[in-house]
Amino acid sequence: MLKPRLLCYLVLVLVSLSASNSRVGATELESEIAILSKQLLDSARNENFFGWLKKVRRRLHEYPELSFQEYETSQLIRSELDSIGVHYNWPVAKTGLIASIGSGGPPFFSLRADMDALPIQELVEWEHKSKVSGKMHACGHDAHVTMLLGAAKLLNDRRTELKGTINLVFQPGEEGHAGAYHMLQESNVDKLQAIFGLHVWPDLPTGTIGSKPGPLLAGSSRFSAVIQGIGGHAAAPHETRDPTLAAALSILALQQIVSRETDPLEARVVTVTFMEGGKTGNVIPETVRFGGTYRSATLEGLLFLQQRIKEVIEAQAAVHRCTSVVEFMMGSIKYYPPTINDEGLYGHAKRMGEILLGESKVQEVSMTMAAEDFSFFSQKMPAAFFFVGIKNETLNSDKPLHSPEFVLDEDVLPIGAALHAIVAISYLDDHAVKAL
- Contact status, residue 374 vs residue 339, Cβ threshold 8 Å: yes
Q: What separation in angstroms does the CA of 85 have from each of 52, 78, 82, 101? A: 17, 10, 5, 10
Distance, CA of 321 to CA of 299 (rounded, Å)? 34
Find out whether 238 is annotated in a ligand binding site. Answer: no
Find out whether 144 is annotated in a ligand binding site. Answer: no
Distance, CA of 7 to CA of 17 (rounded, Å)? 15
Find out whether 322 is annotated in a ligand binding site. Answer: no
Find out whether 402 is annotated in a ligand binding site. Answer: yes
- Contact status, residue 99 vs residue 123, Cβ threshold 8 Å: no
In this structure, the number of other CB atoms found within 10 A of the CB of residue 302 comes to 21
Question: In this structure, are strands 165-171 and 108-114 parallel, antiparallel, or unpaired?
Answer: parallel
Distance, CA of 31 to CA of 48 (rounded, Å)? 28
What phi and psi values does residue 101 have, to the nearest 5 degrees?
Answer: -135, 135
How would DSSP label each residue in 379-396?
HHS-EEEEEEEEE-GGGT
Distance, CA of 72 to CA of 207 (rounded, Å)? 30
Find out whether 61 is annotated in a ligand binding site. Answer: no
Known binding-site positions for Mn(2+): 139, 141, 175, 199, 402
Annotated binding site: 139, 141, 175, 199, 402
